[in-house]
Amino acid sequence: MLLFGVVWAQDFITGFFNMATTKDVERTPSGRLKYRGETFSGYNKPKRTPDAAKKFAVLAKKDDQVKLVRFGDQNMEIKKDSPERRKSFRARHKCDTAKDKFSARYWSCKKW
């Protein structure tokens, strides 16, 4: 019985940490991408999500791996036209070091 539990745990962990690939993404006849019931205009292109918990969603792609990344607070206004706010935001979030496309920080910094 213990062996079954160990094997199940290993299968669960490897399945949990495996990234989705481009094979898991379906292309619609109109050319849009469909992933987990949501449609996107393309890889690495943020879109607004008015009914979700976050303001934006993006289907991020690195090599053949894909990940759905949500970022941004629905209740906050983006005031990036103010140089002081822009500078403060980029310093606070360390935007100079945000390089991973699978992180919300990367996409938030890219928007700013």
Q: By three-state DSSP, how is residue 108 classified?
A: helix
Long-range contacts of 72-75 (CB under 8 A, 24+ apart): 72/108, 72/111
Domain ranges (residues) in the chain: 19-111
pTM exceeds cut of 0.85: no
Backbone phi, psi, residue 27, to 5°: -100, 125
Could you read off the pLDDT of 61-75 as tens digits, one per residue?
998 999 999 999 988
- C-beta of residue 62 within 8 angstroms of C-beta of residue 101: yes
Could you read off the pLDDT of 96-105 as tens digits, one per residue?
999 999 999 9
